[in-house]
């Protein structure tokens, strides 16, 4: 057990998970010395830093703030081998996100530094955003808004013609690829809309909301719309490519708010351009930010594009800070950590 008052914690927040949110969450767990550090994300881009990925380029700032600290709570702080070498007193790193890709786990393990993360923090937000994307794509809401609000044109009324009108969720066969924390929530909401929900996930057993389908190919052939919820692994990278898109019925809709590389964007553009797919809605991309030369930009009348906002809710930031602070409290009390990787 550690005396909480002797614990020095660096709250390396950003413009989403604010340092003040981390401080407030910690105050509910233990009395400790908190040093706040403001990192730039999302107003400043993240990317690879030394040997870690998806981090703020702030090794020097982090090293300075961590002087004398035992605990780091962060979302984007780059916990590289250099940072760990410079901070020998560090004993616990808690990452306020679903995976600690900004931490060199091997280097942390060698130095006996525990690394925890915040699973499930954005499941509800991403599920809600997925439903929003699906509705927007099915009913052409962004395109109609752009014509009327930005261009002052009533031409969006053409979406009321039978030829151009959209699809409704009630009785629509919707296929979910993946049934984890996000997919299961999406399934429940779609069932409430009256959609005919089908699920393909070979790793999930037990009861589900909807009809379990044995193969991805069968799911695709039967779905007027699909939403992607699989984890990105070597096995699932490029899971939905040209062959898979061709299995969808003509006029189908594709939604991806999971991970960009699950979907072959070039194959998606081909299917949209030739009219096999009627629409797509994407929040994640193979390369982020989405390149200016991406073919998706030229398909604005058929796509809904958002800049990776699925997890952007105030509740997510608050949940992440609370999950992280609870881990710090467990560590200080000598209890078993709930979400430790090292």
Residue 3 has pLDDT above 70, yes or no: no
Mean pLDDT of 216-244: 97
- Residue ranges of domains in the chain, CATH in brackets: 4-121+313-332 (3.40.50.720), 123-305 (3.40.50.720)
Mean pLDDT of 114-141: 97
Q: Which of 23, 259, 302, 330 is catalytic?
A: 259
pTM: 0.92
At residue 1, the pLDDT reads 46
Q: Which of 111, 237, 288, 295 is catalytic?
A: 288
Residue in this structure with the two tokens 């979302």, named with its chain if needed? 75
- Concerning whether 114 is annotated as a catalytic residue, the answer is no
Mean pLDDT of 127-134: 98
- Concerning whether 196 is annotated as a catalytic residue, the answer is no
Length of the chain: 342
- Concerning whether 111 is annotated as a catalytic residue, the answer is no
Q: How many CA atoms lie within 13 A of 19 on its CB side?
A: 17
Q: In what order do the strands lie in the sheet with 303-305?
A: 211-212, 196-200, 173-177, 225-228, 252-256, 277-282, 303-305
């Amino acid at each position: 057990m550690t005396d909480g008052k002797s614990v020095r914690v660096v709250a390396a927040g950003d413009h989403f998970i604010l340092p003040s949110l981390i401080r407030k969450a910690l105050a509910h767990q233990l009395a400790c010395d908190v040093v706040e550090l403001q990192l730039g994300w999302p107003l400043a881009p993240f990317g690879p830093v030394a040997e870690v990925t998806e981090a703020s380029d702030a090794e020097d700032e982090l090293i300075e703030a961590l002087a004398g600290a035992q605990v780091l709570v962060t979302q984007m702080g780059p916990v590289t081998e250099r940072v760990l070498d410079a901070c020998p007193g560090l004993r616990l790193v808690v990452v306020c996100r679903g995976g600690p890709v900004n931490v060199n786990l091997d280097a942390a393990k060698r130095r006996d530094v525990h690394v925890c993360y915040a699973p499930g923090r954005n499941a509800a937000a991403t599920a809600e955003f997925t439903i929003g994307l699906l509705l927007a794509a099915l009913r052409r809401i962004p395109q109609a808004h752009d014509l009327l609000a930005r261009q002052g044109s009533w031409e969006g009324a053409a979406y009321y013609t039978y030829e151009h009108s959209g699809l409704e969720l009630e009785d629509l066969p919707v296929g979910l690829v993946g049934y984890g924390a996000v997919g299961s929530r999406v399934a429940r909401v779609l069932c409430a809309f009256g959609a005919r929900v089908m699920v393909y996930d070979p790793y999930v057993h037990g009861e589900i909301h909807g009809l379990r389908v044995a193969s991805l190919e069968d799911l695709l052939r039967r779905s007027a719309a699909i939403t992607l919820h699989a984890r990105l692994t070597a096995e699932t990278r490029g899971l939905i490519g040209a062959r898979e898109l061709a299995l969808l019925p003509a006029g189908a809709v594709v939604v991806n708010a999971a991970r960009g590389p699950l979907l072959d964007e070039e194959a998606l553009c081909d299917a949209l351009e030739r009219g096999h797919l009627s629409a797509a809605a994407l929040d994640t991309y193979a390369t982020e930010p989405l390149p200016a030369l991406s073919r998706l930009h030229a398909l604005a009348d058929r796509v809904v594009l958002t800049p990776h906002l699925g997890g952007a809710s105030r509740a997510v930031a608050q949940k992440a800070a609370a999950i992280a602070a609870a881990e710090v409290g467990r560590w200080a009390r000598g209890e078993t950590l709930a979400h430790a990787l090292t």
